[in-house]
Structure 1
Amino acid sequence: MVRKLRTDAAEALDGLLFDGMTIMAGGFGLCGIPENLIAAIRASGVKDLTVVSNNCGVDDFGLGVLLAGGQIRKMISSYVGENKLFAELYLSGKLELEFNPQGTLAERIRAGGAGIPAFFTKTGVGTLVAEGKEVREFDGELYVMERGLTADLSIVKAHKGDAEGNLVYRKTARNFNPMMATAGKVCVAEVEHLVEIGTLDKDHIHTPGIYVDRVLKGAAYEKRIEQLTTRTRSAEGAAAGEEV
Structure 2
Amino acid sequence: METGIDAGMDWFAARAALDWQLELGADEAIGEAPVDRFAIEAGAQAARSALVAAPAPGRMAPAPEADPVQDAEAAARGAATLDQLRDAMAAFDHCDLKRGARNLVFCDGVPGARVMIVGEAPGRDEDRQGKPFVGRAGQLLDRMLGAIGLSRAESVYITNVLPWRPPQNRDPKPTEIAMMLPFLRRHIALADPDLLVIVGNISCNALLGRTGITRLRGQWTEAEGRPAIPMFHPAYLLRQPRMKRETWADLLSLSAKLKALP
Q: TM-score, normalised by structure 2?
A: 0.21
> Which structure is higher in helix share?
2
> Which structure is higher in strand share?
1
Instruction: Give the number of the structure whose alpha-carbon radius of gyration is greater.
Output: 2
